[in-house]
Amino acid sequence: MAVVLDAEDLTATQMQTIAQWTNLSETTFVTAPTDPGADYHVRIFTPVQELPFAGHPTLGTARAWLDAGNAPRTPGTVIQQCGVGLVPVRVDGDRLSFAAPPRVRSGTPADADLDRACERLRLTREEVVATAWVDNGPGWLGIVLANADRVLAIDPDPSPTDEAGHYGVVGPYGAGGPDGVAVEVRAFIYDPGTAVREDPVTGSLNAALGQWLTESGRLTAPYVARQGTAMGRDGRVSVTAEGSDLWIGGSAHILLSGSINVADLARPY
Protein backbone atom coordinates (compact mmCIF):
# COMPACT_ATOMS: atom_id res chain seq x y z
CA MET A 1 0.00 0.00 0.00
CA ALA A 2 0.98 3.65 -0.33
CA VAL A 3 0.46 6.61 2.01
CA VAL A 4 0.27 10.23 0.86
CA LEU A 5 0.85 12.67 3.69
CA ASP A 6 -0.10 16.38 3.59
CA ALA A 7 -2.97 15.70 1.18
CA GLU A 8 -5.03 18.75 2.20
CA ASP A 9 -5.13 20.32 -1.24
CA LEU A 10 -5.93 17.20 -3.25
CA THR A 11 -9.40 16.69 -4.66
CA ALA A 12 -11.13 13.31 -4.59
CA THR A 13 -10.51 13.03 -8.34
CA GLN A 14 -6.80 13.59 -7.84
CA MET A 15 -6.71 11.05 -5.05
CA GLN A 16 -8.37 8.46 -7.26
CA THR A 17 -5.91 9.25 -10.06
CA ILE A 18 -2.95 8.68 -7.73
CA ALA A 19 -4.48 5.42 -6.51
CA GLN A 20 -4.84 4.26 -10.11
CA TRP A 21 -1.23 5.21 -10.79
CA THR A 22 0.20 3.36 -7.78
CA ASN A 23 -1.99 0.35 -8.74
CA LEU A 24 -1.70 -1.01 -5.21
CA SER A 25 -4.48 -2.62 -3.21
CA GLU A 26 -4.97 0.68 -1.34
CA THR A 27 -3.56 4.19 -1.29
CA THR A 28 -4.35 6.48 1.64
CA PHE A 29 -4.42 10.27 1.91
CA VAL A 30 -3.84 12.01 5.23
CA THR A 31 -5.45 15.35 6.07
CA ALA A 32 -6.19 17.31 9.23
CA PRO A 33 -8.98 15.82 11.35
CA THR A 34 -12.40 17.41 11.67
CA ASP A 35 -13.14 15.48 14.87
CA PRO A 36 -11.36 17.00 17.90
CA GLY A 37 -10.67 13.52 19.27
CA ALA A 38 -8.64 12.40 16.21
CA ASP A 39 -4.96 12.80 15.42
CA TYR A 40 -5.56 12.83 11.65
CA HIS A 41 -8.18 12.09 9.01
CA VAL A 42 -7.55 9.50 6.29
CA ARG A 43 -9.27 8.69 3.01
CA ILE A 44 -8.68 5.22 1.56
CA PHE A 45 -8.78 4.46 -2.18
CA THR A 46 -8.37 1.28 -4.19
CA PRO A 47 -7.50 1.73 -7.90
CA VAL A 48 -11.25 1.91 -8.65
CA GLN A 49 -13.09 3.25 -5.58
CA GLU A 50 -12.97 4.87 -2.15
CA LEU A 51 -13.45 2.72 0.96
CA PRO A 52 -14.80 3.89 4.32
CA PHE A 53 -12.38 1.61 6.17
CA ALA A 54 -9.60 -0.93 5.57
CA GLY A 55 -7.33 -2.54 8.13
CA HIS A 56 -3.95 -2.82 6.40
CA PRO A 57 -4.13 0.86 5.31
CA THR A 58 -5.05 1.84 8.88
CA LEU A 59 -1.84 0.32 10.26
CA GLY A 60 0.30 1.47 7.33
CA THR A 61 -0.98 5.04 7.55
CA ALA A 62 -0.30 5.17 11.28
CA ARG A 63 3.25 3.90 10.69
CA ALA A 64 3.94 6.49 7.95
CA TRP A 65 2.44 9.31 10.06
CA LEU A 66 4.54 8.35 13.08
CA ASP A 67 7.73 7.91 11.03
CA ALA A 68 7.21 11.40 9.60
CA GLY A 69 7.82 12.77 13.11
CA ASN A 70 4.26 13.12 14.33
CA ALA A 71 3.16 12.19 17.85
CA PRO A 72 -0.32 11.20 19.01
CA ARG A 73 -2.14 13.29 21.58
CA THR A 74 -2.44 10.23 23.81
CA PRO A 75 0.96 8.53 24.17
CA GLY A 76 0.89 5.01 22.76
CA THR A 77 -2.42 5.36 20.91
CA VAL A 78 -3.09 7.01 17.54
CA ILE A 79 -6.71 7.99 16.88
CA GLN A 80 -7.61 7.77 13.19
CA GLN A 81 -10.68 9.46 11.72
CA CYS A 82 -12.07 7.74 8.61
CA GLY A 83 -15.33 6.81 6.94
CA VAL A 84 -16.47 4.57 9.80
CA GLY A 85 -15.63 7.10 12.51
CA LEU A 86 -12.76 7.01 15.01
CA VAL A 87 -10.45 3.99 15.06
CA PRO A 88 -7.80 3.69 17.82
CA VAL A 89 -4.42 2.27 16.84
CA ARG A 90 -2.10 1.04 19.58
CA VAL A 91 1.64 1.55 19.15
CA ASP A 92 4.17 -0.91 20.55
CA GLY A 93 7.44 -0.30 18.70
CA ASP A 94 7.14 -1.72 15.18
CA ARG A 95 3.96 -3.51 16.18
CA LEU A 96 0.63 -1.76 15.64
CA SER A 97 -2.92 -2.93 16.29
CA PHE A 98 -6.34 -1.42 15.69
CA ALA A 99 -9.65 -2.00 17.44
CA ALA A 100 -11.98 -3.88 15.10
CA PRO A 101 -14.81 -1.51 14.13
CA PRO A 102 -18.46 -2.63 14.20
CA ARG A 103 -19.71 -4.46 11.16
CA VAL A 104 -22.17 -2.59 8.98
CA ARG A 105 -23.63 -5.83 7.64
CA SER A 106 -23.85 -9.31 9.10
CA GLY A 107 -26.10 -12.34 8.88
CA THR A 108 -26.53 -15.11 6.32
CA PRO A 109 -26.16 -14.18 2.63
CA ALA A 110 -28.90 -14.93 0.14
CA ASP A 111 -28.54 -18.13 -1.87
CA ALA A 112 -27.85 -16.11 -5.02
CA ASP A 113 -24.94 -14.28 -3.35
CA LEU A 114 -23.38 -17.52 -2.11
CA ASP A 115 -23.92 -19.22 -5.47
CA ARG A 116 -22.12 -16.34 -7.18
CA ALA A 117 -19.24 -16.58 -4.70
CA CYS A 118 -18.91 -20.34 -5.22
CA GLU A 119 -18.96 -19.94 -8.98
CA ARG A 120 -16.24 -17.30 -8.90
CA LEU A 121 -14.08 -19.20 -6.42
CA ARG A 122 -14.75 -22.56 -8.10
CA LEU A 123 -16.18 -24.10 -4.94
CA THR A 124 -19.16 -26.37 -4.49
CA ARG A 125 -21.90 -25.49 -2.01
CA GLU A 126 -21.15 -28.76 -0.23
CA GLU A 127 -17.62 -27.52 0.58
CA VAL A 128 -18.93 -24.46 2.43
CA VAL A 129 -18.96 -25.17 6.17
CA ALA A 130 -20.38 -21.77 7.16
CA THR A 131 -20.95 -18.38 5.57
CA ALA A 132 -21.95 -14.89 6.69
CA TRP A 133 -21.69 -11.25 5.71
CA VAL A 134 -18.67 -9.85 7.55
CA ASP A 135 -18.81 -6.35 6.14
CA ASN A 136 -17.06 -3.54 8.01
CA GLY A 137 -16.77 -1.29 4.96
CA PRO A 138 -15.30 -3.15 1.96
CA GLY A 139 -18.27 -5.52 1.61
CA TRP A 140 -16.75 -8.83 2.71
CA LEU A 141 -18.66 -12.11 2.44
CA GLY A 142 -17.04 -14.67 4.73
CA ILE A 143 -16.75 -18.36 3.88
CA VAL A 144 -15.44 -21.13 6.13
CA LEU A 145 -14.01 -24.27 4.47
CA ALA A 146 -13.13 -27.56 6.13
CA ASN A 147 -9.39 -26.94 6.40
CA ALA A 148 -6.49 -24.71 5.46
CA ASP A 149 -5.36 -26.98 2.62
CA ARG A 150 -8.64 -26.47 0.77
CA VAL A 151 -8.33 -22.71 1.22
CA LEU A 152 -4.83 -22.78 -0.26
CA ALA A 153 -6.05 -24.88 -3.20
CA ILE A 154 -8.63 -22.32 -4.37
CA ASP A 155 -8.11 -21.38 -8.02
CA PRO A 156 -10.55 -18.52 -8.67
CA ASP A 157 -12.12 -17.67 -12.01
CA PRO A 158 -10.03 -14.75 -13.35
CA SER A 159 -12.68 -13.55 -15.81
CA PRO A 160 -13.64 -9.87 -15.53
CA THR A 161 -17.12 -9.25 -14.14
CA ASP A 162 -19.60 -6.39 -14.18
CA GLU A 163 -20.56 -6.92 -10.54
CA ALA A 164 -18.32 -6.35 -7.53
CA GLY A 165 -17.65 -9.05 -4.97
CA HIS A 166 -15.29 -9.22 -1.99
CA TYR A 167 -14.79 -12.72 -0.58
CA GLY A 168 -12.88 -13.76 2.53
CA VAL A 169 -12.19 -17.50 2.84
CA VAL A 170 -10.84 -19.12 6.00
CA GLY A 171 -9.94 -22.68 6.99
CA PRO A 172 -8.52 -24.13 10.22
CA TYR A 173 -5.14 -25.79 10.61
CA GLY A 174 -6.02 -27.77 13.72
CA ALA A 175 -3.22 -28.96 15.96
CA GLY A 176 -0.72 -29.11 13.11
CA GLY A 177 -0.67 -25.44 12.23
CA PRO A 178 2.70 -23.83 11.40
CA ASP A 179 4.24 -21.94 14.34
CA GLY A 180 0.98 -21.77 16.22
CA VAL A 181 -1.06 -20.42 13.29
CA ALA A 182 -4.73 -21.25 13.79
CA VAL A 183 -6.23 -20.49 10.37
CA GLU A 184 -5.33 -19.72 6.76
CA VAL A 185 -7.10 -16.72 5.21
CA ARG A 186 -7.41 -15.60 1.59
CA ALA A 187 -9.07 -12.45 0.26
CA PHE A 188 -10.43 -12.30 -3.30
CA ILE A 189 -11.62 -9.01 -4.79
CA TYR A 190 -13.72 -8.65 -7.93
CA ASP A 191 -14.20 -5.06 -9.09
CA PRO A 192 -16.38 -4.22 -12.09
CA GLY A 193 -14.51 -4.59 -15.37
CA THR A 194 -11.37 -6.10 -13.83
CA ALA A 195 -9.99 -9.57 -13.26
CA VAL A 196 -9.88 -10.98 -9.75
CA ARG A 197 -7.25 -9.61 -7.37
CA GLU A 198 -5.96 -11.35 -4.27
CA ASP A 199 -4.92 -9.21 -1.32
CA PRO A 200 -1.88 -10.63 0.51
CA VAL A 201 -2.71 -9.28 4.01
CA THR A 202 -6.12 -7.84 4.84
CA GLY A 203 -6.74 -6.21 8.21
CA SER A 204 -10.39 -5.35 7.65
CA LEU A 205 -11.20 -8.92 6.64
CA ASN A 206 -9.32 -10.45 9.56
CA ALA A 207 -11.10 -8.05 11.92
CA ALA A 208 -14.58 -8.96 10.69
CA LEU A 209 -13.77 -12.67 10.39
CA GLY A 210 -12.44 -12.57 13.94
CA GLN A 211 -15.65 -11.03 15.25
CA TRP A 212 -17.80 -13.59 13.45
CA LEU A 213 -15.69 -16.65 14.27
CA THR A 214 -15.21 -15.82 17.96
CA GLU A 215 -18.88 -14.90 18.45
CA SER A 216 -19.94 -18.16 16.81
CA GLY A 217 -17.50 -20.19 18.92
CA ARG A 218 -15.42 -21.42 15.98
CA LEU A 219 -12.31 -19.67 17.30
CA THR A 220 -11.13 -18.29 20.63
CA ALA A 221 -8.91 -15.21 20.84
CA PRO A 222 -6.00 -14.83 21.04
CA TYR A 223 -5.06 -16.56 17.81
CA VAL A 224 -2.87 -15.98 14.75
CA ALA A 225 -4.12 -16.01 11.16
CA ARG A 226 -1.80 -16.52 8.21
CA GLN A 227 -2.45 -14.90 4.84
CA GLY A 228 -0.58 -14.56 1.56
CA THR A 229 0.82 -18.10 1.51
CA ALA A 230 -0.62 -18.85 -1.93
CA MET A 231 1.17 -15.73 -3.22
CA GLY A 232 4.54 -16.77 -1.82
CA ARG A 233 4.23 -14.53 1.24
CA ASP A 234 3.88 -15.19 4.94
CA GLY A 235 1.65 -12.52 6.45
CA ARG A 236 0.80 -13.05 10.11
CA VAL A 237 -2.13 -11.26 11.75
CA SER A 238 -2.64 -11.44 15.51
CA VAL A 239 -6.15 -11.28 16.92
CA THR A 240 -6.46 -10.55 20.64
CA ALA A 241 -9.46 -9.86 22.84
CA GLU A 242 -9.87 -7.19 25.49
CA GLY A 243 -13.33 -7.09 26.99
CA SER A 244 -15.78 -6.98 24.10
CA ASP A 245 -13.17 -5.59 21.68
CA LEU A 246 -10.92 -7.44 19.28
CA TRP A 247 -7.53 -5.95 18.40
CA ILE A 248 -5.99 -6.74 15.02
CA GLY A 249 -2.25 -6.30 14.80
CA GLY A 250 1.04 -6.88 13.05
CA SER A 251 4.30 -5.21 12.08
CA ALA A 252 4.44 -2.34 9.59
CA HIS A 253 7.56 -0.94 7.90
CA ILE A 254 8.32 1.81 5.38
CA LEU A 255 9.97 0.41 2.24
CA LEU A 256 10.09 3.43 -0.09
CA SER A 257 9.51 7.16 0.32
CA GLY A 258 9.37 10.08 -2.11
CA SER A 259 7.28 13.02 -3.28
CA ILE A 260 4.56 13.67 -5.87
CA ASN A 261 4.37 16.72 -8.12
CA VAL A 262 0.66 17.53 -8.15
CA ALA A 263 1.03 19.38 -11.46
CA ASP A 264 1.98 16.08 -13.10
CA LEU A 265 -1.40 14.56 -12.26
CA ALA A 266 -2.94 16.19 -15.33
CA ARG A 267 -0.43 14.49 -17.63
CA PRO A 268 -1.05 11.05 -19.16
CA TYR A 269 0.84 8.22 -17.54
- At residue 118, the pLDDT reads 98
Could you tell me which residues are beta bridge partners of residue 50? 45
Q: DSSP string spanning 11-67?
A: -HHHHHHHHHHHTSS-EEEEE--SSTT-SEEEEEE-SS-EES--HHHHHHHHHHHHH
* Signed CA dihedral, 4, 6, 7, 9: sign only: negative
Q: Which residues contact 231 (CB under 8 A, 6 or more apart)?
A: 198, 200
Residue 84: name the closest of 166, 188, 207, 186 by CA.
207
Domain(s) of CATH 3.10.310.10: residues in the chain: 2-94+252-266, 111-245
| Residue 15 near residue 30, CB atoms below 8 Å | no
Residue 43's pLDDT band (cuts 50, 70, 90):
very high
- Please write the tens of the pLDDT for every residue from 223-237: 999 999 999 999 999
Q: Which residues contact 51 (CB under 8 A, 6 or more apart)?
A: 26, 44, 45, 83, 137, 138
Whether residue 174 is predicted with pLDDT greater than 90 in this model: the reply is no
pLDDT > 90: percent of the chain: 78
Please tell us whether the domain made up of 2-94+252-266 is placed in CATH 3.10.310.10.
yes
Residue 240: name the closest of 253, 229, 249, 231 by CA.
249
- At residue 179, the pLDDT reads 85
- At residue 150, the pLDDT reads 98
| Residue 83 near residue 137, CB atoms below 8 Å | yes
- At residue 195, the pLDDT reads 87
Residue 260 CA to residue 180 CA, distance in Å, equals 42
- At residue 266, the pLDDT reads 62
What is the rounded average pLDDT of the residues 173-179? 82
Residue 144 CA to residue 259 CA, distance in Å, equals 42
What is the rounded average pLDDT of the residues 97-110? 94
CB atoms within 10 A of CB 14: 17
Residue 148 CA to residue 184 CA, distance in Å, equals 5
Q: How many CA atoms lie within 13 A of 119 on its CB side?
A: 10
- At residue 177, the pLDDT reads 77
- At residue 141, the pLDDT reads 98
Helices (H), the chain: 12-22, 55-67, 111-121, 148-152, 203-215
> In terms of pLDDT, which residue wins out, 176 or 58?
58
Residue 44: name the closest of 132, 106, 136 by CA.
136
Q: Which residues contact 134 (CB under 8 A, 6 or more apart)?
A: 103, 106, 140, 141, 142, 168, 205, 208, 209, 211, 212
State the chain's mean pLDDT as an integer.
93
Residue 251's pLDDT band (cuts 50, 70, 90):
confident
Residue 166: name the closest of 28, 35, 14, 54 by CA.
54
- 111-245: CATH homologous superfamily? Diaminopimelate Epimerase; Chain A, domain 1 (3.10.310.10)
- At residue 267, the pLDDT reads 61
- At residue 192, the pLDDT reads 87
